[in-house]
Amino acid sequence: DGGITQSPKYLFRKEGQNVTLSCEQNLNHDAMYWYRQDPGQGLRLIYYSQIVNDFQKGDIAEGYSVSREKKESFPLTVTSAQKNPTAFYLCAVGRFQETQYFGPGTRLLVL
């Protein structure tokens, strides 16, 4: 953290609802990433963006969508198509192909 903010800290989703997780950075890094963390598993990449107005799918993109309209912001939408959304979501930033720095995370729970 220290320049990477994620909000909210906790998010509750109802059945069939889309929810959006925010990630903002003031480190002036081009690359931004979204990961999902489940207990006992390594971090899994959902989406990443190397530059404004461009993003790529990661390993588990189904049921998620992103946008990158500004360098500072990379919001993640968890759609109703994601059937098992309960997890800890982490945003990371960095210079492309170099060390990634993580935000504080958002915990998503299903009601």
CA distances from 15 to 38, 60, 79 (A): 20, 20, 10
Cβ–Cβ under 8 Å, residues 11 and 108: yes
Cβ–Cβ under 8 Å, residues 71 and 52: yes
In terms of CB distance, is 10 or 16 closer to other proteins? 10
**Stretch binding other proteins (CB under 8 A), from 12-20, 43-51, 62-70, 77-85:** 43-51
Among 43, 52, 61, 110, binds other proteins (CB under 8 A): 43
Q: What is the DSSP letter of 53?
A: T
Beta carbon of residue 79, minimum distance to other proteins (angstroms, whole number): 22
Give the footprint of other proteins on this chain (CB under 8 A). Answer: 1, 4, 6, 35, 40-45, 48, 50, 56, 58-59, 88, 90, 96-105, 107
